[in-house]
């Protein structure tokens, strides 16, 4: 009997030790500076959400400590002992019942007030001097229109450090959700409606984001990057986007052939690059991303491939394998056409 009891106690201690180790591992896993962590905000929107999260977290800790302390006290004080009499039966306690009814209500009040205040503060309203950017979600890439500057781009969203920004968002097809974790919360992006996010970024850097609403076969490949630039660098970027692409100045032989291939019509299907894409001075397609300054971006294919010659080659050779369901068709380009198109696209800076 004593051996069985010792074994049972040993198993309990081992279970408790494993539980503590598991809890420690979970806590440690949440503490890293990950690219899409919400625990290290870099804008006022994110700070408010983070403050609310921490407030609720510490209330939860307090409730947990109080409840577990009372539970352990009762377990230890009223545990069964050898030879002890049966416990006295009681019907209940009005005082305890009132207390454990009112206590959660008070806690909920202290949680509800900052929650409602935060919700009201992050509705998307922005001051008059805010930079307004129209965001359009597509399957599966993000389009950005800077109406005040006459600039349209994709995937890389550039904003100036320290200036309020308002995103006016809608969708060209299905419901998407715009999410840059280090900036703030998510917003659904819906066809036929306009939703808003407003924030003021305080730290220069590149912050990763993605669509957070399942939107089709390549939902996981709908990524984005928020580029927070120093104000002078942002002004330089805007001027560069407003200018004609550098390819207008000079093209070598391969790039010139690529430009011709870009405009060529192919059968079957009468496909051509310019039917879907815009390039200032050459094409005005609107189905796909604007390519006027493609080579100045950090990535292609909705953010899943880097902007370089190898990635462009892979994308042009077989877009549907890289991004299943994409509207980018396979138009049976030859290897020579791919090579010259890559040479041309790399001049679009």
Residues 141, 178 contacting (CB under 8 angstroms): no
pLDDT in the model for residue 312: 93
**pLDDT at position 147, please?**
93
Residue 125's pLDDT band (cuts 50, 70, 90)? confident
pLDDT at 272: 77
> CA–CA separation, 77 vs 70, rounded Å?
10
pTM of the predicted model over 0.85: no
User: Which residues, other chains included, contact 8 with Cβ-Cβ below 8 Å and sequence gap of 6+?
Assistant: none
Mean pLDDT of all residues in 170-190:
92
Contact (Cβ atoms closer than 8 angstroms) between residue 111 and residue 59: yes
Q: Which residue has the tokens 């019942």?
A: 97
> How many Cα atoms are found within 13 Å in the side-chain-facing hemisphere of 214?
1
Burial class for 94, CB neighbours closer than 10 Å (0-12, 13-18, 19+): exposed
Residue spans per domain, the chain:
1-30, 37-80+92-242, 246-345
Decide: 133 and 167 in contact? Cβ < 8 Å: yes
Among the residue ranges 49-53, 305-309, 333-337, the one predicted with the least confidence is 333-337
Q: Rounded to whole angstroms, what are the CA distances from 34 to 41, 83, 182?
A: 11, 57, 10
What percentage of the chain has pLDDT greater than the value 90? 47
List, for residues 248-272, the tens digit of each pLDDT value: 456 788 888 888 888 776 655 556 7
Give yes or no on whether 37-80+92-242 and 246-345 have one common fold: yes
Question: 26-40, 50-64, 209-223 — which is least confidently predicted?
Answer: 26-40
Homologous superfamily of the 37-80+92-242 domain (CATH): Cupredoxins -  blue copper proteins (2.60.40.420)
Tens of pLDDT, residue by residue over 136-169, are 999 999 999 999 999 999 999 999 999 999 999 9
Range 184-203 average pLDDT: 92
List Cβ neighbours of 281 (8 Å cut-off, separation of 6 or more): 244, 245, 248
Q: What is the pLDDT of residue 1?
A: 47
- Residue 230: is its pLDDT beyond 90? yes
Task: Name the residue with higher pLDDT: 24 or 64.
Answer: 64
Task: Over range 104-113, report the average pLDDT.
Answer: 91
The pLDDT of residue 187 is above 50: yes
How confident is residue 5, by pLDDT bands cut at 50, 70 and 90?
A: low
Q: Average pLDDT for residues 224-236, to the nearest whole number?
A: 95
Mind listing the pLDDT tens digit for each residue in 299-333? Answer: 998 889 999 999 999 999 889 999 998 888 777 78
pLDDT at 185: 81
The mean predicted confidence, pLDDT, of the chain is 85
Average pLDDT, integer, range 269-277:
74
Mapped onto helix, strand or coil, the DSSP state of residue 346 is coil
d(CA 288, CA 295): 16
Looking at the predicted structure, is the pLDDT value of residue 88 above 80? no
Q: What are the tokens at 197?
A: 């996010």
For 37-55, what is the mean pLDDT? 89
Across the range 166-174, mean pLDDT stands at 94
Residue 212 · residue 184 · CB < 8 Å: no
CATH code of the domain made up of 246-345: 2.60.40.420
Helices 335-345 and 309-317, axial angle in degrees (round to 10): 140
């Amino acid at each position: 009997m004593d051996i069985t009891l010792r074994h049972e106690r040993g198993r309990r201690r081992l279970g408790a030790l494993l539980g503590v180790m598991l809890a420690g591992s979970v806590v440690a896993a949440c503490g890293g500076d990950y690219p899409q962590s919400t625990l290290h905000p870099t804008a006022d929107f994110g700070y408010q959400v983070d403050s609310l999260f921490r407030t609720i977290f510490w209330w939860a800790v307090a409730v947990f400590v109080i409840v577990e302390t009372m539970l352990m006290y009762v377990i230890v004080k009223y545990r069964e002992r050898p030879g002890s009499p049966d416990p006295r039966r009681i019907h209940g306690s009005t005082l305890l019942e009132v207390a454990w009814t009112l206590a959660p209500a008070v806690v909920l009040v202290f949680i509800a007030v900052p929650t409602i205040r935060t919700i009201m503060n992050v509705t998307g309203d922005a001051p008059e001097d805010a930079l307004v950017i129209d965001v359009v979600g597509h399957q599966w890439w993000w389009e950005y229109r800077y109406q005040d500057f006459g600039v349209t781009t994709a995937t890389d969203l550039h904003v100036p450090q320290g200036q309020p920004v308002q995103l006016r968002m809608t969708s060209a097809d299905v419901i998407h959700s715009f999410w840059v974790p280090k900036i703030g919360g998510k917003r659904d992006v819906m066809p036929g409606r306009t939703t808003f996010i407003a924030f003021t970024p305080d730290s220069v850097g590149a912050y990763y984001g993605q669509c957070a609403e399942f939107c089709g076969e390549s939902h996981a490949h709908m990524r984005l990057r928020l580029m927070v630039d120093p104000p002078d660098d942002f002004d330089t970027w805007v001027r560069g986007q407003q200018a004609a692409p550098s390819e207008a100045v000079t093209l070598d032989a391969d790039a010139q052939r690529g430009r011709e291939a870009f405009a060529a019509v192919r059968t079957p299907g009468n496909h051509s690059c310019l039917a879907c894409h815009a390039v200032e001075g050459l094409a005005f397609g609107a189905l796909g991303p604007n390519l006027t300054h493609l080579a100045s971006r950090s990535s292609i294919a909705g953010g899943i491939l880097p902007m370089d010659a190898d990635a462009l080659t892979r994308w042009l050779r077989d877009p549907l394998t890289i991004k299943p369901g994409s509207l980018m068709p396979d138009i049976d380009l030859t290897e020579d056409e791919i090579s010259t198109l890559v040479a041309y696209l790399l001049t679009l800076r």
